[in-house]
Every structure is written in C-alpha cells, then in structure tokens.
Structure 1
C-alpha cells in the first residue's frame, strides 16, 4: 500500500515533470534553464535535482515507464513461446495501441516531444544511456535460455530494430501522415524486421557459427593457404 509520503513525492515528481515538458515544448530545451523549471514547479533547484539527476532526465523520464520492458516481455512470455516471437507480438500490440514508444502516435504533443528528443544532441546522447541499460537487462533475460554472447548480440539487434522502426514511424507522422494511414505499413515493416532477426538468431544457434567448429577451422585453414 502506498503511504502518504510516497504519494507526496510522486505529486512533486509529476509537478516538476509537467512544468519542465510544458516549458521545453513551448520555448525549446536549450532556451529553458533548470532554475526556471524549478520556479514553475514551485520547488528549489536542490529539490529538483533530488528527483531528476540531469536536465535531460526532466524530458527522458517518460521513457522510464518502459525501462526494462523488453526483458519483462521475455521473462513473462507464454509457455513455449520463443523470445523473439514474444517481443514481436508485444511491438505489434504497441502499434495497435498507438503506444508512443513505437513512434506511431500522432498526438500533437507526442510528435513535438519526439521532435525535441531526436533534434537535441544532449537528449539523444542521454537516451543512449537508457538504451544501454535496457540492452543489458534484455541480454540477461535472453541468457537465461542460451549463451551469453548470443544473448548480447540478439539484445543489441532487437533494440536497434525497435529504435529504427519507431524513428521511421515518427518521421512519416511528422511528414503529415496520420497514424491510421501509417499503421498497415508499420505492421508490415515490423514483421519484416523481426523475420530478419529470427533468421539471424536461428543461424547464431546453429552448429556452424561457433568459432571452434570444423567449418570455422576450415575457413581459417583456407585463408592461410590463400596467403
């Protein structure tokens, strides 16, 4: 059960967040100081930094709602379901729900938010900090059913694919198309992308890609002879 202290902290967090996003969208991320955000939220700067470690986190904290999501999808997948199938199903469901994280949400504020994130170098750089944590969590989840190297390679590819798909969807919406118009193609693109991922993952689990296999040794020997 949530205590009164936790409720108060959550309200302060939300107040700071709303004040920051409103100011940033209205005037631009680089044109608003942390002091102005604190004043608008009616808190001190030290209090603001207790809730948000950096100015960039005032924007990107919204992504925290999805932190570790891919790892949770893998761990909570249906019995007998392959990890990539679960991740694909989850992404397609997000497209159907118009989840902003898929890029397929044409709400004006969401579009402006993405434009700010993608168009501000410091925000884009900070975003990679969150992505690295997500990649690590997904790799750990995948490694529970496989080897560590393959898990890390697949995790990096999955998150890269999701990032590319989301950016692609957002760009089309930013170009004037509606989410309804883009949705069918977004679904086709996602299915194509995950099919490529599955092909790569299946190859990675095959006996012919391990560095100590006969095929690998043969390749090395052949390379040596060609020299």
Structure 2
C-alpha cells in the first residue's frame, strides 16, 4: 500500500529542511568554501545523488532560505487593495517587516541570522547566485507592475532600495548594535528611500 501524496510531500519537505539545516550549520561553523558536498551528504546521512535531487547546486543549500520570499514584491503589488499605489503597498510591506524584525529586512540580531547574512554577503559565489534570484524577482515585479520600460525601471529601483536598506540594517547589527536600537533609523531610512521612488 503506497503512502498518501500529502504525507509523501511532507516527508520530502522535512528531508529537504533537514539537509538544508545540516548544510547551513556546517557552513557557519567552517565556512562555505571549506565544506564539500560530500561532507554535507555524510553529515546528513544521505548519498550525494540524493542531496543533488533536493539541491541542484551547493549554493542552493544556503539560498533555499530565500525561497519563501521569492516573488514576494510581485505578490504584494498584485494583492494590494483598491486605490493603493504599488510603491505605497511595497513601502508598507517593508515597514511591517521591520516591525516584525523579519530577517529579510536585515533588521534581526539573532546570532544565527547575523552569521547567515555574513556568510551570504561575504561569499562571492553565494552573492552571485543571490543576484540571479534578484533578477527573477525583478522580472516578476515588472510583470506585476505592467508592461514596458517604466515597469522594469521601477521594479529595478524598488528591489535596489530593499537590498540597500537590508544590507545597511545588517551592517549596523554586525557592527554590534541591537535590532531594537537600529529600528527607528531603519524605519526613517525606509521612509526616505521609498519617498524617492516615482
């Protein structure tokens, strides 16, 4: 008797999460370049081919954590209420993220989150792979904003603003400040940055 599809999907997701958590733990402890795919497979007690079924590249073992936010800006624009401008909806969404200390805003001082961001920002292959995710997000946002060069320009500007704000917030925390202390500046910076968008 075969197991139900829902159960199989949940087991697969748990396995994926466990492999990803094992990999990130090893990367944070030893550095991205010092940990091999073989090391991760051994620590996760799976074969290398099994690992690659879940994560096509070594970089994906880290960046899968961004998957929940993939296409988020486009979803915010599509889901905004009547009469709300796209930039206003995106600004409010980012501010809500700051208030929740969402790691994607850079405003989170949990040691593992700070270390994770340091890993991503200081490892060239991860930063390069993250750029690919951002290009896909930009395309999705441009599509949500409408057709033409104006939509593409605005999408690029919005995502650049979010990236710069998040990196600035993370850097202040990496320099030793608390997220609570940085919060008022992060909100003011976001308000200023979004006000400059068309």
TM bucket, shorter chain: over 0.9
| Distance 1:126-1:112 versus aligned 2 partners, 3 A rule | same
State the match for 1:9 in structure 2. Answer: 12
Structure 1 segments of 4 or more deviating over 2 A? none
Determine the structure 1 residue equivalent to 2:87: 84
Residue 11 of structure 1 and its aligned partner are, at CA, apart by 1.3
Name the Cα RMSD after superposition.
Answer: 1.0
Offset of 1:8 from its aligned partner? 1.4
**Distance in 1 between the 2:86 and 2:63 partners?**
27
The number of residue pairs the alignment matches comes to 195
Residue pairs, 1:1-227, within 5 angstroms: 3-143=6-146, 147-197=147-197, 201=198
CA distance in 2: counterparts of 1:112 and 1:3, whole angstroms: 34
Q: What is the distance in 1 between the residues matched to 2:112 and 2:104?
A: 14
Q: Deviations over 1:181-222 (max 9, x none)?
A: 10001000000000001xxx2xxxxxxxxxxxxxxxxxxxxx
Aligned to 2:154, the other structure's residue is in SS state helix
Larger Rg: 1
SS of corresponding position for 2:196: helix
Q: Give distance in 2, aligned partners of 1:35 and 1:134.
A: 31
> Gaps (5+ residues) in structure 1?
202-227
TM-score by length of 1: 0.84
Q: Quote the offset at 1:78 in angstroms.
A: 1.3
- TM-score normalised by structure 2 residue count: 0.97
